[in-house]
Amino acid sequence: MEKPKLTIDEMATFCKRKGFVYPNSEIYGGIAGFYDFGHLGVELKNNIKKEWWKTFVMQRDDIVGIDGSIINHPMVWKASGHVEGFTDVIIDCKKCGLRFRADTLVADKLNIQTAGLSIEDISKKIKENKIKCQKCGSELGIPKQFNLMFSTNVGPMQSSSSVAYLRPETAQIIFTNFKLVQENARLKLPFGIAQVGKSFRNEISPREFLFRMREFEQMEIEYFVHPEKPDECVFIDEVMDYELNVYSAEMQKQNKKMQKMAIKECLSKKIIKTRWHGYWLALMHRWFVDLGASSEHFRIRQHVKDELSHYALDTWDLEYEFPFGWKELQGLSNRTDFDLKQHMEHSKTDLSIFDEDTKKKIIPHVICEPSQGVERAFLVFMFDAYNYDKARENVVLKLHPKLAPVKIGVFPLVSNKADLVKKARDAYDGLKKEWPCVFDLSGSIGRRYARADESGIYATVTVDFESLEDESVTIRSRDTTEQIRVKIKDLKEILGKFLDGEKLGKLGKGVE
């Protein structure tokens, strides 16, 4: 299996050099865990969110969207359990005071899985293995819990009652609006509610570039089913033959390797417990593959018993093989009716819905909550698109045309011939009404192609001396360097087809 070609630090450098991502406040030394997106980065990020919304909201009858507030009533986070339990274990160096996330320190030092270990277990492992401060080598103190929510004060007075939190996940805002959305959209089970938006976590050690940030975005669905019909997945036939790499809890326990399996095999062998869970795992995996990511870089991994959150009946992560190992890309949890019940209890509001069949009130179950970080998806697409082309001697960023931040580059062959530049400019003005385009006249044409390849520009249009005579231009493919000659008047139609996935060679006369 081919691994990503870059380290995460090299990817960060590439993203900064090309204007995808910048470290936040760099002129003041930066601030860990926060990043800004440059022009190419914001276009790519918007395309990722747009494609996700298109697939999972716009093109479905059973899912509707919301866009909730970042700050909510503090009771939301009390009811959800975040005030009490959204914590990581920290440990301080007794001498230099440096703070570490204790479980990752133990995991890194001993090369073991620490998910599910209690604070006592972690403390014991640190003592037994004499793990010391990673900076100065001194003894470490006593591990303690640290809440990851950022707090702030709402209103002009600051008191304990003005404290509120920046949301650490988008999910809860779906639950608090559940009843209104269900009634307004006249949703009948099974149905989903989706949201894309910012979340904030005061991570103890933000690292690996965009992988672990303090401010990030999530794309999330809560998918609700009838509590007595957890396995009646109406869409399961669509994915029965879909194959993916599977790493079940049992395989992990027995130290076995992951295995390529079809969804139907996972269900018949009861590796995946419900059809709905199988369906959503396949769909989320397929979304990445359809947008150009390599299926071999993904696996689905089931949480082992100790790793499961208290509310979850079963959880699978969609994982990706990053340069720093297999890591969670997306969590897909079966949360049952935990959240709706918690909010009913704390708000004293009835969030149950009426079941026409049994004429009874029911509390739906979240059979699956696919929760995807936008920036982790961003990294995946960047890693899988990145290619160094030896013949061209430059990077070619082979992003899917739907994701490419800039679709078309328009280049006049020379910059010192006014009528030629004007012709190119006119073509560019027409095209930019349809797609994000760039107009580039600086440097040699080869240099301009290389710059375009590195930015992932899907096609380039070159206007040359002949164009002045015959109203034709050359289109060049980023991925193959193949070129065709087409009339300027047909440019929009041909480029539209090319961006839709048609082969360039079929769209015009080839150029040697």
Contacting positions for ligand ATP (CB under 6 A): 169, 201, 203, 212-213, 216, 218, 328-331, 371-373, 375-376
Whichever of 114 and 218 has its CB closer to ligand ATP, that residue is 218
List, in sequence order, every beta strand (DSSP E) within 379-492. Answer: 386-389, 394-397, 408-412, 437-439, 459-463, 472-477, 483-487
First to last CA, the chain: 35
Min dist. Cβ of residue 21 to ligand ATP (A): 13
Min dist. Cβ of residue 282 to ligand ATP (A): 17
Contact yes or no for 93/105 (Cβ under 8 A)? no
Q: How far is Cα of residue 116 from the mean position of the Cα atoms in its chain?
A: 25
Whichever of 51 and 482 has its CB closer to ligand ATP, that residue is 51
H helix count then E strand count, the chain? 17, 26
Cα separation, 357 vs 212, in Å, equals 46
Min dist. Cβ of residue 126 to ligand ATP (A): 20
Contact yes or no for 463/424 (Cβ under 8 A)? yes
Position with the least CB separation from ligand ATP: 373
Whichever of 311 and 458 has its CB closer to ligand ATP, that residue is 311
Whichever of 169 and 464 has its CB closer to ligand ATP, that residue is 169
Whichever of 88 and 355 has its CB closer to ligand ATP, that residue is 88
Distances (CA, A) of 365 to 22, 267, 475: 41, 20, 52
Min dist. Cβ of residue 331 to ligand ATP (A): 3
List, in sequence order, every beta strand (DSSP E) within 34-115. Answer: 35-37, 63-66, 87-92, 99-101
Min dist. Cβ of residue 208 to ligand ATP (A): 9
3-state secondary structure of 394: strand
Min dist. Cβ of residue 313 to ligand ATP (A): 15
Whichever of 378 and 458 has its CB closer to ligand ATP, that residue is 378
What is the crossing angle of helices 374-385 and 39-53, to 10°? 110
Min dist. Cβ of residue 207 to ligand ATP (A): 10
For the chain, the farthest-separated pair of C-alpha atoms sits apart, in whole angstroms, at 82
Whichever of 182 and 315 has its CB closer to ligand ATP, that residue is 315
Q: Which amino acid is present at 101?
A: R
